[in-house]
Amino acid sequence: MLSRSLLLALAWSSIAVAFTSSACASGAAAPIDGSRLAAVDKDEPGSWLAHGRTWSDQRFSPLDQISTANVSGLGLAWSYELDVRRGQESTPLMADGVLYFSTSWSKVVALDARDGHLLWEFDPKVPGRAGFRACCDVVNRGVALWGDKVYVGTVDGRLIALNRETGQLVWSVTTTDPSKPYTITGAPRVANGKVFIGNGGAEYGVRGYVSAYDAQTGRRVWRFYTVPGNPKGGENSRAMRLATPTWHGRWWQFGGGGTVWDSMSVDPELNLLYVGVGNGVPWRQAIRSPGGGDNLFLSSIVALNADTGRYIWHYQTTPGDNWDFDATQNMVLAELRIQGKRRKVLMQANKNGFFYVLDRKSGEFLSAKNFVDVRWATGIDANTHRPIEVPAARYSDKPFVNLPSAFAAHNWHPMAYSPQTGWVYIPVMEIPFKYAADKDFQYRPGAWNLGVDMMAGALPDDMDARRKLRPQLKGRLIAWDPVAQREMWRVDHGGPANGGVLATAGGLVFQGTGQSRFAAYGARDGKKLWEFATQTGVIAPPITYSIDGEQYVAVLAGWGGGYAVISPFVGPGSGDMLTPRRMLVFRLGGTARLPPDTTVERPRPQLAEENWPAESVARGKRLFYKNCAVCHGDAAVGGRVIPDLRYSALLSSPQAWQAVVIGGALTSHGMVSFRRWLNEKDAQDVRAYVAGESKRLFRDMDREAVSR
Ligand code: CA
């Protein structure tokens, strides 16, 4: 006979079971907190709760149902069509059966992770004019989860908390000065009840910082500035006492730069928040800080007390940055055995071409080695731990063609680390860039302010010469041993701007490409084991999750980001192609299909014959590179993300062109009025230049068609 207490216990456990299952069915999920995140590997290996899956930011999943042995049987489970045509860079999160992710214009979507049906969506209604301030497309790299909320940063500088179940707005705070060209494209991070958010804008002219907000209320808890303000302002923290002597001139007038626009990592045991700090503004140091100096904390990894924002340590990867070498690439936290000792390390494959291993408790430099060809430095000095610079690389007297470049050796596309192999998997790019001082530079508040002549490295006019450049622009996936600091294998892709990386316990590495493919490789040998045609370039990082014993792999597909905006060497062909943007989810034996590929060339404009004086075209070209190229592409080629100007019907109407460029008729799409920077004659000269480029493109396409 059962005792009364045992009966009671049984009754309670069945109530608990009933409660748990009904809670799951109704979507009322357990809150996400520090203990749930800390136990994710043990308790719920099928979840993906934080940006890099766990606090370690390794982007490694212990799931192994999909493995080297069976990945050839991977198929599409479902796909979800997005209502945007801009770049997709978000890392989805998966908690309690729901897939949460952000899309272009800082929108948020929640889907049922099993079948992709829409649970809710949220549109922060970012005003179109804010898009003008985003140098590298109106992308967003993801949301954060904490408690019963979802957090997202918006292009116009807001941090927003949503109800996880309904997508309803809970609170919204403005984190930036709306009068300055700040943007947010990075994902918030959360720990210990605080949401951390940075911002971007260092190509335009802002002062970088990272802030912490109370996750429950949205109240600001602390803010850390990455560069000093005007010394007369009386800031007297330890960080600013360190940084101020490393600057000269009147840098605060430009803001200084140093934005924390993407990567942050948290070590909850050490209570440290690591932030990756971006480049200075202007890029050219001779303008920003005449007389040089290290310009702390530009291009640095900085460790802060996560509770107070107090400075703990820093390591500057590029002292006195002159090349846009942001230190904003993702940071992986791991334990490595280095010279016989287990060390808690932080690893970063930096934009400057060197792979860094630091002790993440003390900030001690452990090792660094170039993972691509590097021209600007010959190595890292073993004693000072500073780069050994090649003097000519500073392009003070004459231009310097550098590798890596502002586009990267490695950019925001996250790398992954597999504790199984002990290797890091890095999406690598090789894009040379000709740095030349802008001799006529004048600071223009709110505008593109590099101090570098963008026209110096312009595409050649001759289309065949243009085509010959393509093989010089490389992209590959490499496996890197961070202890030995050497490459273990490489896979060459057809070009740069490929996706972020996922590593799994199934012995696999997943990555999408700019060539519209999504593939799985063997983690030990780099052998391609599976591939899927995505109909559009994939730059986002994939994730994996499991529900009811079924493992899924998810990735957002859709061209965009800085390189796709500016370069013609993205994807096949040339010209304006509007391709879809989708969430793609795969499982073993998946049989779903994408709709037929309907990508077509946009109709060509009928251009009136106008006789432009050569002087007008040449002048228009100079103005184009100074004002327009950042969004509309080198030689007006940008057609994968933003409508290709060479197809614009506006080209044949001086009045319509004027209404847009000066009148701001397309402000709601992000094309603001350039009245502050261009007059009417300037605008018409730009039209002359673009019309010439339009004719050049269609002549070439017709010639190519005949020769085929
Ligand atoms: Ca930058």
Residue 16 has pLDDT above 50, yes or no: no
User: pLDDT tens digits for 343-372?
Assistant: 999 999 999 999 999 999 999 999 999 999
Q: What is the mean pLDDT of residues 462-484?
A: 94
Rounded mean pLDDT of 179-208? 97
From the list 62, 33, 64, the residue with the least C-alpha distance to 50 is 33
Q: Assign domain 175-411+433-472 to its CATH superfamily.
A: Quinoprotein alcohol dehydrogenase-like superfamily (2.140.10.10)
CA of 201 to the centre of ligand 1 (A): 8
Instruction: Using pLDDT thresholds of 50, 70 and 90, give the confidence band for residue 641.
Output: confident
Structure-block tokens of residue 224: 């850390």
Q: Cα(326) to centroid of ligand 1, in Å?
A: 5
Nearest partner of 540 among 123, 61, 187, judged by Cα = 187
* Dihedral sign (CA 41, 44, 46, 47): negative
What distance in Å separates the CA atoms of residue 434 and residue 402, rounded to the nearest whole number? 6
Structure-block tokens of residue 93: 């999160």
CB 652 within 8 A of CB 605: yes
% of residues, the chain, pLDDT over 70: 95
Does pLDDT of 164 surpass 50? yes
Q: Residue 22 — pLDDT band, cuts 50, 70, 90?
A: very low
Q: Is the pLDDT of residue 3 over 60?
A: no
- CA–centroid distance, 518 to ligand 1, in Å, is 27
Q: Mean pLDDT, to the nearest integer, of 206-215?
A: 98
47-106 pLDDT tens trace: 999 999 999 999 999 999 999 999 999 999 999 999 998 999 999 999 999 999 999 999
Check whether domain 1-117+125-141+485-600 has CATH 2.140.10.10, yes or no: yes
Asked if residues 336 and 483 have their Cβ atoms less than 8 Å apart, the reply is yes
CATH topology of domain 614-707: Cytochrome Bc1 Complex; Chain D, domain 2 (1.10.760)
C-alpha torsion sign, points 624, 630, 635, 641? negative
Residue of 272, 331, 277 whose CA lies nearest to 300: 277
Distance 387 CA to ligand 1 centre (A): 19
Check residue 99 and give its pLDDT: 98
How confident is the model over 30-35, as a mean pLDDT? 94
Q: Please count the CA atoms within 13 angstroms of the CA of 5 that sit on its side-chain side.
A: 0
Angle between helices 614-627 and 680-707 (to 10 degrees): 100
Q: How far are the Cα atoms of 356, 379, 394, 669 from residue 390, in angstroms, in the given order?
A: 20, 10, 8, 43
Q: What is this structure's pTM? A: 0.94
Ligand 1 centroid – CA 320 distance (Å): 14
Domain ranges across the chain: 1-117+125-141+485-600, 175-411+433-472, 614-707
Q: What is the distance in A from the centroid of ligand 1 to the CA of 158?
A: 21
Ligand 1 centroid from CA 223, angstroms: 21
Q: Do domains 175-411+433-472 and 614-707 have the same CATH topology?
A: no
| Catalytic hit among 137, 262, 324, 438 | 324
What pLDDT is attached to residue 85?
Answer: 86
Active site residue 576: no
Query: Ligand 1 centroid vs 569 CA: distance in angstroms?
Result: 20
* pLDDT for residue 565: 84
Does residue 491 contact residue 521 with C-beta atoms inside 8 Å?
yes
Residue 58 Cα to ligand 1 midpoint, Å, equals 24
CA of 278 to the centre of ligand 1 (A): 6
N-to-C CA span, the chain: 88
- Cβ atoms 43, 487 nearer than 8 A: no
